[in-house]
Amino acid sequence: MALTQEQRQMILNHSLFSHFNPQAQEELLADAQVRDHAPQALIQRQGDPAERFYLVHSGKVKLFRISADGKEKVVEIITPGNTFAEAVMFMQKSVFPVCAEALEPVKLIGFSNRLMLRHLEQNPHTCLHLLGHMSVRLHQRLDELENLTLQNATQRLALYLVSQVRDRAKDSAEIELVLPKSLIAARLSIKPETFSRAIANLRERGLIDSRARHISIPSITNLLNEFAGGQQHIEYKAGLIATDNN
């Protein structure tokens, strides 16, 4: 399936491709593969050989791991305009470390790891940009790990809600939860009933108002200071609390 003009532009605007020279960009575009996946379709399995990485053109993709006891742990939700599995090309053993599942109708654009590596070897400047891109992703995962190990369910939820805020110029915010609450709970490693209690706790304290998936935050400052301390508010204003991909 040939790329549309919109898909070409999305690719060229992405930080993984924008710094290549025109010739390299055209080679990568010519090799790109577009695939459609139905809701709940398994895109890749943990341990499968990895020959390509992917850019999500439309829909949402859930990345998850299966533990030894068979439990599913949600790692990340990938939304349109974002990539996944790109770090695998640098691994000694090129296999997918996670499973990927379509949460809704998904259109993916796949790129050859081998071709990407060849162009990176010829473009050291682009390698530096890719390193920066992966460093950001790594820091986000480390922040999530810290949240999961050091904070209780209500604190995790408060920081998750703050991560959904796009406009940081205002202290109040209106957000719409784009994922089902059960999936958000899994992402935060809490049970659905614990998620509901945490929502109720924040609402009773007057820190949020909720109606179905719509959340109102009267004061982000108060929310962060109540559950995460003043340092978290400073980090939020400085942009150190990353806007979530969801």
* Burial tier of 217 (Cβ tally within 10 Å: 0-12, 13-18, 19+): buried
Contact 61, 43 (CB under 8 A): yes
The pLDDT value recorded for residue 243 is 55
More confident residue, 17 or 128: 17
If pLDDT is split at 50, 70 and 90, which confidence band does 105 have?
very high
At residue 238, the pLDDT reads: 41
Convert the pLDDT of each residue in 70-100 to its tens digit: 778 888 899 999 999 988 888 878 899 999 9
Sign of CA dihedral 113, 38, 74, 49: negative
* Whole-model pTM over 0.75: no
| pLDDT tens, residue by residue, 109-164 | 999 999 999 999 888 878 887 777 777 766 666 666 655 555 788 888 988 898 88
Assess whether the region 5-125 and the region 142-229 belong to the same CATH fold: no
- Domain range list for the chain: 5-125, 142-229
Q: In this predicted structure, what is the pLDDT of residue 180?
A: 87
CATH class of 142-229: mainly alpha
CATH superfamily of 5-125: Jelly Rolls (2.60.120.10)
Distance in angstroms (rounded) separating the CA atoms of residues 197 and 208: 13
